[in-house]
Amino acid sequence: MGDDRTILQAGLEAALRIDREQKPRRTLLSSVDGSVTQTLSDAIAECEAYKSVAGYMAYTGGSGPVLTADLLATYLFSKADSPVDGGIPAAIEWLLKVLGTREADGNFIVAVWGLSIDKEVTLADSSRLMPFANLPSSYMKSRILERAKRLYDGSVWLAHNYFDEPSVASATNIHSFPYIGTDGASFQQIEKLHWAARDFWLFLEAASVGHTLAIGYWFEYVDQSLDFNQWQNSITWILPEIHPRILKCTPVNPDEIQGRLQSFLALPAKLQDRLLRSMGRFELSQCRSAIIDRVLELALAFEIAVSGPGSGGISWKVSVRSAQLIGGAIAKRKLTRDSVSRLYGLRNKATHGSDLTTHDQTELEETLSSCLSIYRELIVSFLALGQEPEWDSLELQARTLD
């Protein structure tokens, strides 16, 4: 490392000297001459620290640029040329730190539109859920706030480039995240985090919020000096295939979120998977524009959640099993059964060619609205039961409420 420092010191001094001679009064609009960066590039190429990672990929700015002497020379010169960044000594230490780092701690940050909480909580995977305002300052947070604006109709989120300020954020600490390597491990880990976040927020939509959310994420290092390509970072959206329109921000009790998530994670894995598939249809039932499609998606959400072995038609199964699993007094169970039966009556008409335009639209909306609420009760009932129901027994006797 001592030799590397000597090489870089000489290279930077020569590069800065050449730059001053060529452009003694360089402005912000002036570009650095190629001979300057070439001088630095040649110096970097001689360093042992660089040779050990030349051609490797570094995860920075949400992408994986290949490490070349030319790429690093540009950043090194910028830091050495700035008195604010500490000049030549600080620039050398920065480059050697970058080249010597293989893994680094970071945070997987998710911004959410469509719900609000009034305090910070820690979830089962040690993620912190917090009001977006409590998220520490960072490059990406500032970019989101700069782009946010009051929407014309009072909505919360309308498109990936047209949204108000997010109300909630989550931060997951990631230890030993792959920083420099050759196997794409950093992208594999980001993909796993992506799908884990997708499942969590899909669950939260169905179990607590009751409507769709807009979700976007990014990754940032604890030591932000490692993220030398940070200016290229952007938010990655997690949205249903039919993008939602988020009209409102629903307050949710953070302690409720914490408890329900723990209950969900305690369910058998096979049941978790089935409920997540059902929740995906619940989400789409609120993204579709045509009411006939909303009916079909919501009916399918119920069907995936409660169908299984047993006698009886699908409409009977779904309505009776939903009523019995949710439970309550006989009057409540009848109301639940009748509401879900009406939904399935509409579903049957839709699948046999009816476009539902002859129905009273207010009545259709009321049926959908009541069944959306029933679906959330159904998910909460699964959490309370904590296991796959004994459907044959449940059809004869409602779940006993605590």
**62 and 69 Cβ atoms separated by less than 8 Å:** no
Number of structural domains (the chain) is: 3
Q: Is 112 helix (H, G, I), strand (E, B) or coil?
A: strand
φ/ψ (deg, to 5) at 69: -65, -35
Could you tell me if residue 130 is inside a domain? yes
Same domain, 27 and 82: yes
Same domain, 129 and 223: yes
Neighbours of 220 (CB within 10 A): 21
Contacts of residue 28, Cβ cutoff 8 Å, sequence gap at least 6? none
Task: State which residues form the domain around 276.
Answer: 267-394
Could you tell me if residue 261 is inside a domain? no
Q: Which of 204, 262, 265, 269 is nearest to 238 (CA)?
A: 204
Same domain, 80 and 185: no
Q: Is 52 helix (H, G, I), strand (E, B) or coil?
A: coil
User: One digit per residue, pLDDT tens: the chain, 402 residues?
Assistant: 569 999 999 999 998 888 887 765 555 445 667 788 899 999 999 999 999 999 999 999 999 999 999 999 999 998 988 777 778 999 999 999 999 999 999 999 999 999 999 999 999 778 999 999 999 999 999 999 999 999 999 999 999 999 999 999 999 999 999 999 998 899 999 999 999 999 999 999 999 999 999 999 999 999 999 999 998 899 999 999 999 999 999 999 999 999 999 999 999 999 999 999 999 999 999 999 888 899 999 999 999 999 877 767 888 889 999 999 999 999 999 999 999 999 998 888 877 776 666 666 788 889 999 999 999 999 999 999 999 998 888 888 877 765
Same domain, 294 and 192: no
Same domain, 93 and 112: no
Same domain, 218 and 130: yes
Q: Which helix (H) or strand (E) holds 201?
A: helix 185-204
Q: Which of 47, 68, 100 is the last residue of a domain?
A: 100
Query: What DSSP line would sit under 273-309, residue for residue?
Result: HHHHHHHHHHHHTTT-SSHHHHHHHHHHHHHHHH--S
- Find where tokens 């909505």 sit: 155
- Structure token pair of residue 147: 């782009």
The model carries a pTM of 0.89
Q: Is 378 helix (H, G, I), strand (E, B) or coil?
A: helix
Give the length of the chain.
Answer: 402
Q: Which of 100, 119, 144 is the last residue of a domain?
A: 100
Could you tell me if residue 7 is inside a domain? yes
Same domain, 213 and 226: yes
Contacts of residue 22, Cβ cutoff 8 Å, sequence gap at least 6? 33, 35, 36
Could you tell me if residue 321 is inside a domain? yes
Could you tell me if residue 17 is inside a domain? yes
Q: How far is 63 from 125, CA to CA, in rounded Å?
A: 26
Same domain, 238 and 199: yes
Q: Which of 45, 67, 100 is the last residue of a domain?
A: 100
